[in-house]
Structure 1
Amino acid sequence: MSLVNPYSSQSLPQMASTSNSATSSTSTVQTNTTSSTSTGNPFLDGIRLPEESNIPEANDQMLKQEDFFALLSQQLSMQDPFKPVDNDQMIAQMASFSTVDGIANLNDEILNLNSVMSSSQALQASSLVGRKVLIPSDTGAIGAGNPEISGVVSTPESIDTITIRIEDESGQLIKTYDIDGSAGGNVDVSWDGLDKNGEPVAEGNYAIKASGKVDGQSQDLPVSTYAHVTSVSLGTAATGAILNLRGIGGIKLTDVLAVSES
């Protein structure tokens, strides 16, 4: 006696049919997806418009006048009809909004004005190219175009003898000599670029140090030196025009103490 499932012959075909249907549906979806992204023609696929990007635009975090008025409108729409906003308070708020907007516009105008002033200042400073300016530094440059260094020693009072020391960049003493300081005030000083043996020194930066007796005690005196202006840089609104000095570097135009004839 054999056991036979009477429903086996009916169940298997149904499962196969279901499987085939699912496969067909998946194939149809894949075909539709492929057709939506590609036409199969390389030329048409190359000239089709790109899909739109979903990247959100950058959000400006700065509040503008439109934002303030939107807040005011929201406030008016949400107010208690039995206790409306006082007229004076509303006018004060609108005045505040106008003030904020005016300050923002004023800042923009000031920035534009600073740019114009910087350009004008650099144009005026360009007339100093090729001339000498006195700078608050005791260091000068010796080179092919600068065979000597000149400057000014500032004294608080009349000093009979001012001792001048010439030092190189490493602080080594190159030469020592005395000048007359009896006139007091600003005393001119110059160095011919020769060492203590009368030989020309190598090109480079050298410092002029000055000292003298003030009230019976030896004291270091401030020294300013002249430098050649080779070019002018525009700079920024904070620094203004920058004078580029031969062998020295850049210095702000506002730091110049005096201008020499040559």
Structure 2
Amino acid sequence: MKTHPLDDISRLLDNAASAAGRPPPRLLAVSKTQPAGAVAGLVVLGQRAFGENYVQEAAAKIAELEQAEPGMPSLEWHLIGHLQSNKAREATALFDWVQTVDRAKLVAALARHRDPERGPLNVLVQVNIDDEASKHGCRPDEVEGLAAAIAGEPLLRLRGLMVIPTPHDDPELGRPAFRRSRALFDALRERYPQVDTLSMGMSSDAAIAIAEGATMVRIGTALFGARNLSSKGTSSGA
């Protein structure tokens, strides 16, 4: 009997965590470029957390789901694409998490626009762990300053780090970057006890990321199939 990709991925994550002696990570289903119906199909199977790259795309998708599926359970929406400061107001209204905070100006904008009635916005510091010119993210030595800025804002909740290492044909080649990310995460957690999330690993390298300490993996391709190649922007989860 053929299983759903969600079952296969859940089994892979559980097996990788067991082999590494770690708790299973959270699964973030990367729904960018996917239609609302594809999201609804995963919700029926129990998936609740979804990642989107663009504010406008997410707004349309969320509205469509709310209109078409009025009885749908509460979902958790993560922004995993680069966010311009002038989109902070919209982002704080739509998302429960922003995983791509990489500069002080964005910290201030998110804090300024978050509705207090929604409670603090969960925030991850995005780190450009391999210092790639084509990717967003702060330098590793900038994590401490950004974390302090986030922790000082009552309407933001510092939860940890997000990284997108350089992709390799052989996923093993990404292991050193995952290890450096884990070291940064452990150091951050020593200073801020509320830190609990290290978001790293995608469809091709999730098992290695888990072995090196990921607490959340971002899976798109393995769940939904190849993404829409007309979509622009840097991949934040696949």
Do these two structures clear the TM 0.5 threshold for a shared fold by scoring above it?
no
What TM-score do the two structures reach when normalised by structure 1?
Answer: 0.21
Larger Rg: 1
The structure carrying a bigger helix percent of its residues is 2
What TM-score do the two structures reach when normalised by structure 2?
Answer: 0.22
The structure carrying a bigger strand percent of its residues is 1
